[in-house]
Amino acid sequence: VTFGLYAPPPPLPGNAGKRQKREITWIMDPNRLEEAAMDGSLCIAVNQHGELCGVHKPGGMPIEFSLVTLCTEQAVVRAKEITARIQAELEADLSSRQLARRNVHQQFAEEQL
């Protein structure tokens, strides 16, 4: 799962002296336009069992480990959703193939009787 990372906006001119909590914004699976605007990316590989297989953070903006943890949790949820959808489609395809299957040998045996 790829996450697009976006830097927090600069502080407002009137609030320059006040401390503001500025957090990084992230988007899961950004599209082409979002990728063009992102300040960094984070790719997390998770298998169908929810096990972390790899993390790739190529340059860009620095992030805190808490954001990596949050994104990993989201990636696990997304991987399980995708896996469940794929399994459902495979089961539906298998059942439709079994219904469409013909026993050609039985058909010729009945016609000869």
Instruction: Give the mean pLDDT of 39-64.
Output: 92
Query: pLDDT confidence of 106, banded at 50, 70, 90?
Result: low
**Quick one: residue 20, left, alpha or beta (phi over 0 = left, psi -120 to 50 = alpha)?**
beta
The H-assigned helical ranges of the chain are: 32-37, 65-100, 104-112
More confident residue, 15 or 34: 34
3-17, 54-68, 71-85: least confident range? 3-17
- pLDDT, residue 13, reads 73
Q: How far apart are CA 23 and CA 102, in angstroms?
A: 60
C-beta separation of 41 from 28 below 8 A: no
In this predicted model, which residue has the larger pLDDT, 15 or 26?
26
Residue type for 62, please? P
User: Tens digit of pLDDT for each residue in 72-92?
Assistant: 999 999 999 999 999 999 999
* pLDDT exceeds cutoff 90 at 18: no
Is 113's pLDDT higher than 60? no
